[in-house]
């Protein structure tokens, strides 16, 4: 990063932001997943630093933003306001919007609210935050990872396992740190164990750390409980607002966290979008096939202003 800072957005939240690459280059906004996942230096690598002015920030309650795991004053509408505040602060008129998983959700929501500010979209591991997708995450992954789901469920009393989301919300939003930290580790380990086509021990270990799990556990549950503060299937219903803009969708064929049906539905609704289904990949951005296709997309946009 050649420039970075902390931006106070209200009485509770302060956001970490950074710029890297070419200060005079084409602006691109990176939106991380989760919610609550935060950014890392690895996320800069999807973009040619000689061409792009790369803007990254940690969303409310995530990464280096403070307070970590804070779910109060944390809604999709407020995150969209934060994006606009950062854009105006940096004097950017328009940018390419890049987001994966929850980052794809936020990218779509932002684009539909501010289409004139968007040059196009690079989206990965599509999550539309519908009731079916939330239920799949909490319960459906049992079909592919029964032993992982069993451990996730057994972390709460048997009497509460009929509604695992509510059971975890009760603990994640408890005032006692020992209770909410344990719940966050259990939630985050559950997701981390299912990220890759072939589970990665290091990824699971990272997701179990307090630095990652508190943001992931609390904020994912918060947004899932509240349907991301959107109407059901809002992002597909409003796709006409950005249908004129170029978009590429990169999806792992064996993505268990965000199954390919969501990417396919989005592609069908978004006439002109490009869908790349990666045959040997799960959910994670750093699956080799997914990372390669994401870089190819940003290179195409660099050269052509569209996706081929």
Cβ atoms of residues 195 and 188 within 8 Å: no
CB 235 within 8 A of CB 108: yes
Catalytic residue, candidates 255, 262, 273, 276: 255
Cβ atoms of residues 122 and 301 within 8 Å: yes
CA 12-75-286 angle, to 5 degrees, is: 100
Give the pairing of strands 52-57 and 26-31: parallel
Q: Check if 174 is active-site.
A: no
Q: Which of 32, 43, 267, 283 is catalytic?
A: 283
CA distance 3 to 302: 22
Q: Is 159 exposed, middle or buried (0-12, 13-18, 19+ CB in 10 A)?
A: exposed
Determine the Cα–Cα distance for residues 165 and 24; give it in Å rounded to an integer: 45
Q: In the annotation, is 283 catalytic?
A: yes
CA 122, CA 296: separation in Å to the nearest integer? 10
Query: Active site residue: 101, 104, 213, 273, which one?
Result: 101
- Based on the residue annotation, tell me whether 101 is a catalytic residue of this protein: yes
Residue 26 CB neighbours (<10 A):
20
The Cβ-side half-sphere exposure at 209, using a 13 Å CA radius, reads 10
Could you list the active site residues? 101, 255, 283
């Amino acid at each position: 990063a050649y420039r970075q800072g902390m931006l106070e957005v209200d009485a509770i939240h302060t956001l970490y932001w950074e710029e890297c690459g070419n200060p005079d280059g084409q602006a691109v906004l990176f939106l991380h997943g989760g919610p609550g996942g935060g950014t890392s230096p690895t996320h800069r690598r999807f973009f040619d630093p000689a061409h792009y002015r790369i803007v990254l920030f940690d969303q409310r309650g995530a990464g280096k933003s403070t307070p970590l795991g804070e779910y109060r004053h944390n809604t999709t509408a407020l995150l969209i306001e934060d994006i606009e505040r950062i854009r105006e602060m940096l004097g950017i008129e328009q940018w390419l919007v890049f987001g994966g998983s929850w980052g794809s959700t936020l990218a779509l929501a932002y684009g539909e609210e501010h289409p004139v500010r968007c040059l196009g979209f690079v989206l990965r591991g599509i999550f539309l935050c519908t009731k079916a997708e939330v239920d799949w995450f909490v319960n459906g992954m049992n079909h592919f990872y029964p032993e992982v789901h069993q451990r996730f469920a057994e972390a709460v009393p048997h009497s509460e396992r009929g509604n695992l989301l509510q059971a975890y919300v009760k603990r994640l939003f408890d005032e006692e740190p020992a209770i909410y930290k344990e719940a966050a580790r259990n939630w985050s380990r559950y997701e981390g164990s299912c990220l890759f086509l072939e589970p990665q021990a290091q990824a699971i270990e990272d997701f179990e750390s307090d630095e990652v799990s508190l943001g992931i556990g609390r904020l994912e549950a918060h947004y899932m409980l509240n349907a991301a503060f959107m109407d059901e299937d809002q992002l597909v219903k409003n796709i006409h607002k950005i249908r004129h803009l170029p978009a590429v969708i990169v999806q792992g064929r064996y993505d268990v966290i965000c199954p390919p049906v969501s990417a396919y539905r989005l592609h069908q609704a978004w006439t002109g979008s490009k869908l790349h289904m990666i045959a040997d990949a799960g959910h994670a951005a750093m699956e080799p096939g997914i990372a390669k296709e994401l870089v190819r997309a940003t290179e195409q946009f660099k050269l052509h202003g569209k996706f081929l």
